[in-house]
Amino acid sequence: MLSWLILVAGVGAGLTAGVFLAFSSFVMTGLGRAPAPVGVRAMQEINRAAPNPVFMLTLFGTALLGVGLAVAAVAGRDPGWGFVVAGAATYLVCVGLTIGYHVPRNEALDALDPAAADTEKAWRTYLSDWTRLNHLRTVSAGAGCVLVLLSRWPG
């Protein structure tokens, strides 16, 4: 059973990394090419749509499962416990960034009037800063995936 739960956690972390990779590699670039009012409005709508059951279960369910697996692996002295703990901890970086960094910036963006004169500058700053730290979310979720799955490699 532990191996199946580890597989689920690895897949969840990988899916999360894929979502963040999409934003880092082309979504934010595409939004940045649009005129500021269009980009802001589109990102506002993306941010409103993001907290849905599927994404929340993937992001936060994976975190909870990872922590539970880390505790179980250490308590049971599972041979791959080090990888499970490292993977869960690494994945939690992306969750911490989401809660502590990205959500507050998304809320601030939501308060912007896309047509206001000062929106262009705020949007350019948001794009640059948000995307830079999203790269870190991508790497942490991807590394969490690999580390958790390595706990069962090659066995």
Q: What is the pLDDT of residues 58-73, one digit of tens each?
A: 999 999 999 999 999 8
What is the model's pLDDT at position 1?
84
Task: Give 14-37 pLDDT, tens digit per residue.
Answer: 999 999 999 999 999 999 999 999
Q: Say if residue 147's pLDDT is above 90.
A: yes
State how far the Cα of 139 lies from the Cα of 44, in Å rounded to an integer: 24
What is the model's pLDDT at position 98?
98
Cβ(147)–Cβ(62) below 8 Å: no
Read off the pTM: 0.94
Phi and psi based region of residue 110 (left: phi greater than 0; alpha: psi -120 to 50; beta: remaining) = alpha
Cβ(120)–Cβ(34) below 8 Å: no
- Taking the alpha carbons at both ends of the chain, their separation in whole angstroms is 14
The model's confidence at residue 153, banded by pLDDT at 50, 70 and 90, is confident
Q: Say if residue 155's pLDDT is above 70.
A: no
What is the model's pLDDT at position 65?
98
